[in-house]
Amino acid sequence: MNTATSNEYLSIRDWHEDVIGGMDVILRCTSALEHLQLFCGYVREKTIDVYAKQPGPFENINYHVVDSFDGIDTVRFGSVFCTSVNQTLNDMLSDFNNIDEQSLVEGLSRYYYSNGMSFDGLSIRPENMDKFNSIKDWAIEYYDEG
C-alpha cells in the first residue's frame, strides 16, 4: 500500500503532516531537509524517509528501523517530528554513498546563504569533517552553477 504523493498537496509540509503526522516516526535525510525548508524537493515526490522503531505498512516510506529514538536530535512541527538541521546533515554525511547528494548539497547551500554566508552554526561531527570539507565549496557555489 502507498500513501498519497506530494503533488496532491500545496506544500511538502502539508503532505508530511497528512501522511505521517502523529505516527511514531521521525523524518530523516532528504525528507527532513524538505520539511526544514532547506531543500525544495522534487515534483511528484512519492518517497518519505523516516526513523521508525518498526517497519510500517507503506511501500513508499523508507523505514530506517532503530531500537530507540534516544540520541536522535529532533524538532517538532505540529504533529510531525523531524531530525534537526545538525542531525540531518550529520546523518547524510555519514551515509554519503547512499543518500540523495543533490538534496544534501542544496541543503548545505541554503543553510550557508541563510546564515550570513557562513557554516558557523553547524556542528559537524569529527568523523564527518573530511566529507563535509570535500563538498562545502560545491555547496557555496551551488547557485552560481546556474
pLDDT digits (tens, 9 = 90+) for 62-81: 999 999 999 999 999 999 99
Range 53-67 average pLDDT: 96
Question: 1 lies in a domain?
Answer: no
Residue 42 — very low, low, confident or very high, per pLDDT cuts 50/70/90?
A: confident
Instruction: Please give the grid coordinates belonging to residue 109.
Output: 547551500
Residue 145 — very low, low, confident or very high, per pLDDT cuts 50/70/90?
A: low
Instruction: Name the residue among 103, 97, 128, 86 with its Cα closest to residue 48.
Output: 103
Question: 29 lies in a domain?
Answer: yes
Question: 33 lies in a domain?
Answer: yes
> Kind and range of the H or E element at 113?
helix 101-114
Question: 109 lies in a domain?
Answer: yes
Question: 72 lies in a domain?
Answer: yes
Domain count, the chain: 1
What secondary structure letter does DSSP report for 51? E
Provide the domain limits for residue 112: 6-144
Question: 48 lies in a domain?
Answer: yes
pLDDT digits (tens, 9 = 90+) for 26-36: 999 999 999 99
Burial of 39 (0-12, 13-18, 19+ CB in 10 A): buried
pLDDT digits (tens, 9 = 90+) for 119-140: 999 999 999 999 999 999 999 9
Residue 43 — very low, low, confident or very high, per pLDDT cuts 50/70/90?
A: confident
Question: 24 lies in a domain?
Answer: yes
Burial of 66 (0-12, 13-18, 19+ CB in 10 A): middle
**Would you state the pLDDT for residue 72?**
98
For 44-56, b/e burial (b = at least 16 CB within 10 A) is ebebbbbbbeeeb
> Kind and range of the H or E element at 95?
none
Question: 56 lies in a domain?
Answer: yes
Maximum Cα–Cα distance across the chain: 44
